[in-house]
Chain A
Amino acid sequence: MRLALAPVPYYWSRERLAAFYEGVAASPVDTVYLGEQVCSRRHEMRLEDWVALGEMLAGQGKEVVLSSQVLVEGEGDLKLVRKLVGNERFRVEANDMGAVRLLAGRAGWVAGPHLNVYNPRTLEMLAELGATRWVAPVEIARDALQGILAERPAGMETEVFGYGRLPLAFSARCFTARRYNLQKEACEFRCGEFPDGMALRSGEGQPFLVLNGIQTQSAQVYCLVEALPALRSLGVDVLRASAHSGNMPEVLRLLHAACDGELAPPDAVRELRPLMPEAPCDGFFHGRPGLEAVALQGAA
């Protein structure tokens, strides 16, 4: 199984991103998704900058895909999507049906995890429109995945979110700005101060969610490493990881070794655990509440 890295969900500075992707370039990851998916107010990087980063990564043998924004609200957002879709250098991952409309008829795009593909008929439609890879919704359970893959269209690759904090929800509201009593339109880019988002805990101090601008993530780190044999037998082609701060190149090295079968899943989880910002979970895949650790009990 190959390994992919999702777009960095946080608002990191150009310098931090440059250093981060140098490390990614030297890691064994196969595919790197780039772009700002969360908030169009974040302006450190323009499309040209992502393409330049993509060139650097492609030069190191990585497959590069540019990801479109998830929540597209107005003409300004649509302009960004059109520009992204119009790039002639790299494949594009569509994350809303507007991007799908703009990509329809082109070959080789990726249907992203936010398109809500829950059954074979929807996947078949995306295949007809030119998608050649799809990323399952993060909450998908094994049975539902199996049901889709049993009727997978020819030439369609499957990618599953398998490591990192889960992108659980998107809103028009910025929860980071809200924390500081700021309006979204005058947010002072406070999300840039939180390289792993802002931790949200229950009133009893239980780590629960992470606020990252308009995005809400899980506090727990989703980890399907124990499920790799099952994913392989279902016919999953790519495992997706999402970045956090800390030693991500080492995380990618361990995940890649586990994907290759060079490192046994329990050993990989044991080595990954100290690198995680919070305890791991894998409930969604097992049809349980997402925050539960089902096959990871020793590590959680």
Chain B
Amino acid sequence: MELVCPAGHLPALKAAVDNGADWVYLGLRDNTNARNFNGLNFDDAALAEGVRYAHGRKARVVLALNTYPQAATWSRWTDALRRADDKGVDAIILADPGLMAHAAKHHPRLELHLSVQGSATSYEAINFYHERFGVRRAVLPRVLSLAQVEQVVRKTPVEIEVFGFGGLCVMVEGRCALSGYACGESPNTTGACSPAKAVRWQQVGEDMESRLNGILIDRYGRGERAAYPTLCKGRFEVEGSLYHAIEEPASLNTIELLPQFAAAGVRAVKIEGRQRSAVYVAQVTRAWREAIDACKRNPAAFVPQAAWQATLASHSEGGQQTLGAFSRPWK
């Protein structure tokens, strides 16, 4: 099983490679990828240096171009493909079928990965992308149970990658316009969700309020740990009850499922967090590298080490963790 780690900048890329990532994924400094944040991502020089560094240590680089291009800005995405090809990137992660057709035709050297933003949750959908564009690998949306993942693996020649750790979308990726509805920027079109520029923190008496484009997302009492106001993780009122109506602020952590992933034939595990620091990338990559190696040596005896779990817990959103869709019941 391969380990795919995030890099929002060169120090993070080096941290990922040095700590055992098989793949590093990254994006360019614009809205061609789903982590279009200020100060994040790679220009051409950093991309070239990143590829050189990774290849020198036997790691591969995959460029995320996983937003949906529009007619007026189409050339930004096709230019990005050309830059990826020129700079020696190994693979690209795409969501848009039109762009996949372009990549398959003009950049056959680049291995094609289907982004989680492509919303492909069944083997029929994944096989569609395989047959039409030669997609080699698909990243599954974080909505399937383990049995459903197994079934997908059995019925497709495409390599399957699942999310292992990090921030968790509770909605089907690529099918969520909540952020666009509230703030005008959505993952599909601008590569952003609940963008920082729409966030306001406000002290009200003893309490701290977080707002997104003016909408109250959460209110924290003294001593309560505040989380970033991602829209779907706020506290809302439904039928007379104020609670985390959609999802709690929590990070996905599936490290205990590694032997089951391996048995199911999952080809790669992805770590979320291109917006995170090099320290996060280094520590999380190291923990997962050790875990994957331990699982490979003896899957039957695999037990997550306390040290790995402590590291991962320290990097979790709101200090909380969940198995996400791999664990049903939900609440």
**A175 and B241 alpha carbons, distance in the complex (Å):** 13
Whether the Cβ atoms of B97 and A122 lie closer than 8 Å is yes
Q: How far in angstroms is the closest Cβ of chain A from B125?
A: 4
Partner of B181, one of A98, A104, A166, A171: A166
Q: How far in angstroms is the closest Cβ of chain B from A208?
A: 6
A147 nearest in chain B by CB position: B71
Is B102 close to A, CB under 8 A? Answer: yes
B188 nearest in chain A by CB position: A116
Residues of B within 8 A of A168 (CB): 176-178, 181
Is B127 close to A, CB under 8 A? Answer: yes
Whether the Cβ atoms of B124 and A78 lie closer than 8 Å is yes
B130 nearest in chain A by CB position: A101
Whether the Cβ atoms of B125 and A173 lie closer than 8 Å is no
Is A216 close to B, CB under 8 A? Answer: yes
Whether the Cβ atoms of B180 and A203 lie closer than 8 Å is no
Partner of A72, one of B122, B189, B246: B122
Residues of B within 8 A of A166 (CB): 177, 181
Whether the Cβ atoms of A147 and B72 lie closer than 8 Å is yes
**A202 and B236 alpha carbons, distance in the complex (Å):** 5
Whether the Cβ atoms of B236 and A171 lie closer than 8 Å is no
User: Chain B interface: which size bin?
Assistant: 35 or more
Is B38 close to A, CB under 8 A? Answer: no
Residues of B within 8 A of A78 (CB): 122, 124
Whether the Cβ atoms of B180 and A200 lie closer than 8 Å is no
Residues of B within 8 A of A174 (CB): 330
**A263 and B249 alpha carbons, distance in the complex (Å):** 48
Is B201 close to A, CB under 8 A? Answer: no
Mark each residue of chain B from 212 to 256: 1 if its CB lies under 8 Å from any CB of chain A, else 0.
Answer: 010111110000000000001011111101100111000000000
Whether the Cβ atoms of A184 and B328 lie closer than 8 Å is yes
**A59 and B102 alpha carbons, distance in the complex (Å):** 45
Q: How far in angstroms is the closest Cβ of chain A from B139?
A: 14
Partner of B122, one of A98, A124, A206, A209: A98
Interface of A is mostly: mixed
Is A77 close to B, CB under 8 A? Answer: yes
Whether the Cβ atoms of B330 and A183 lie closer than 8 Å is yes
Whether the Cβ atoms of B124 and A144 lie closer than 8 Å is no
Whether the Cβ atoms of B71 and A71 lie closer than 8 Å is no
Whether the Cβ atoms of B178 and A101 lie closer than 8 Å is no
Whether the Cβ atoms of A97 and B180 lie closer than 8 Å is no
Residues of B within 8 A of A289 (CB): 180-184, 213
User: Chain A interface: which size bin?
Assistant: 35 or more
Is B264 close to A, CB under 8 A? Answer: no
Is B95 close to A, CB under 8 A? Answer: yes
Residues of B within 8 A of A209 (CB): 178, 236
B72 nearest in chain A by CB position: A147
Is A199 close to B, CB under 8 A? Answer: yes
Is B6 close to A, CB under 8 A? Answer: no
Is A291 close to B, CB under 8 A? Answer: yes
Whether the Cβ atoms of A288 and B184 lie closer than 8 Å is yes
Partner of B237, one of A72, A121, A202, A288: A202
Whether the Cβ atoms of B175 and A70 lie closer than 8 Å is yes
Q: How far in angstroms is the closest Cβ of chain B from A103?
A: 10
Residues of A within 8 A of B246 (CB): 171, 175, 211, 216
Q: Known interface pairs A122-B96, A169-B172. Does A208 touch B236 (Cβ–Cβ under 8 Å)?
A: yes
Binds A, one of B143-151, B268-276, B295-303: B143-151
Whether the Cβ atoms of A201 and B237 lie closer than 8 Å is yes
Whether the Cβ atoms of B239 and A183 lie closer than 8 Å is no
Q: How far in angstroms is the closest Cβ of chain B from A73?
A: 6
Is B197 close to A, CB under 8 A? Answer: no
Mark each residue of chain A from 188 to 228: 1 if its CB lies under 8 Å from any CB of chain B, else 0.
Answer: 00000000001111111110110100001010000000000
Is B70 close to A, CB under 8 A? Answer: yes
Residues of A within 8 A of B184 (CB): 283, 287-290
Whether the Cβ atoms of A118 and B96 lie closer than 8 Å is yes
Q: List residues of B (55-110) whose CB comes within 8 Å of A's CBs.
A: 68-72, 74, 95-99, 101-102
**A96 and B144 alpha carbons, distance in the complex (Å):** 15
Whether the Cβ atoms of B128 and A144 lie closer than 8 Å is no
Q: How far in angstroms is the closest Cβ of chain A from B134?
A: 14
Is A102 close to B, CB under 8 A? Answer: yes
Whether the Cβ atoms of B71 and A119 lie closer than 8 Å is yes
**A171 and B124 alpha carbons, distance in the complex (Å):** 19
Whether the Cβ atoms of B72 and A125 lie closer than 8 Å is no
Is A185 close to B, CB under 8 A? Answer: yes
Q: List residues of A (146-167) whose CB comes within 8 Å of B's CBs.
A: 146-148, 150-151, 166
Q: Which 4 A-B pairs have the closest CB atoms?
A: A147-B71, A121-B98, A98-B124, A172-B143
Q: Pull 18 A–B residue pairs with CB atoms less than 8 Å apart, ordered by A.
A: A71-B143, A73-B144, A78-B122, A97-B120, A116-B119, A119-B98, A121-B102, A143-B70, A144-B72, A151-B71, A169-B176, A169-B177, A171-B143, A175-B246, A178-B330, A208-B236, A211-B245, A289-B184
Known: A171-B170, A178-B330, A201-B238. 11 other contacts (CB 8 A): A98-B128, A116-B96, A125-B132, A166-B181, A168-B176, A169-B177, A171-B172, A173-B247, A200-B245, A290-B177, A290-B180
